[in-house]
Amino acid sequence: DAGVIQSPRHEVTEMGQEVTLRCKPISGHDYLFWYRQTMMRGLELLIYFNNNVPIDDSGMPEDRFSAKMPNASFSTLKIQPSEPRDSAVYFCASRRAGSSYNEQFFGPGTRLTVL
Amino acid sequence: ILNVEQSPQSLHVQEGDSTNFTCSFPSSNFYALHWYRWETAKSPEALFVMTLNGDEKKKGRISATLNTKEGYSYLYIKGSQPEDSATYLCASPTQGGSEKLVFGKGTKLTVNP
């Protein structure tokens, strides 16, 4: 089992540029979550999908952030335009419906630096 | 809003020391408490899912206890090794069986050889 796959692992970009982060969940998992990790705020949920449909995006910080899940094996998180305060590690996680107490499986994260 | 707190924020111990840290959460409407281990540049890895008051779980030198009545969980590491260096996160659903997990800010453990 390959686990959750994220790309790129590192991204350095300049303020104002568009950034796209990618995630491939574990095959057969129905839920997909996007998180942001910062020193100040810890791990925060941005948005989650169930069967490719966005269920709760209340954690998305502002309109510059958008997420899509066009099919069961792929999701993107886009930031346009990016700002230095978006610098963080972005994690994707997935889980299967009915799994033990909502246990989630995480990808290795994308470390984003916006200069 | 559910608040999950962890202490201490960071911890430095010597190889061979035993250590423990705390996760506190609201005791009302408890559903489950998750512990994760996160090494930098790797995926956060699930350690335990704890559900019952008085639960105690163990994986090698790491164990955890749960007190749902007072709203806390302890994670213990016996005989710490440098490879135990990581950030330990706990999380609980926002309410009942909610899909949304609220994470504490973590305890960063450094084990010095």
User: Mean pLDDT, consecutive 10-residue segments, chain A of 115 residues?
Assistant: 91 97 96 94 94 94 94 96 96 88 91 97
Residue B42 forms contact with A (CB below 8 Å): yes
Of residues A4, A101, A109, nearest to B51 (C-beta): A101
Is the pLDDT at B76 greater than 70? The verdict is: yes
* Cα–Cα dist B2/B49, whole Å: 18
| B46 to A103: CB separation less than 8 angstroms, yes or no | yes
pLDDT of residue B37: 96
Chain B closest-CA separation from residue A10 CA (Å): 10
B28 within 8 A of B94, measured Cβ to Cβ: no
Chain A hits for B2, Cβ within 8 Å: none
pLDDT of residue A16: 96
Chain B: residue nearest A109 by CA? B43
B52 within 8 A of B32, measured Cβ to Cβ: no
Q: What is the pLDDT of residues B4-61, one digit of tens each?
A: 999 999 999 999 999 999 999 988 888 899 999 999 889 999 999 999 999 999 999 9
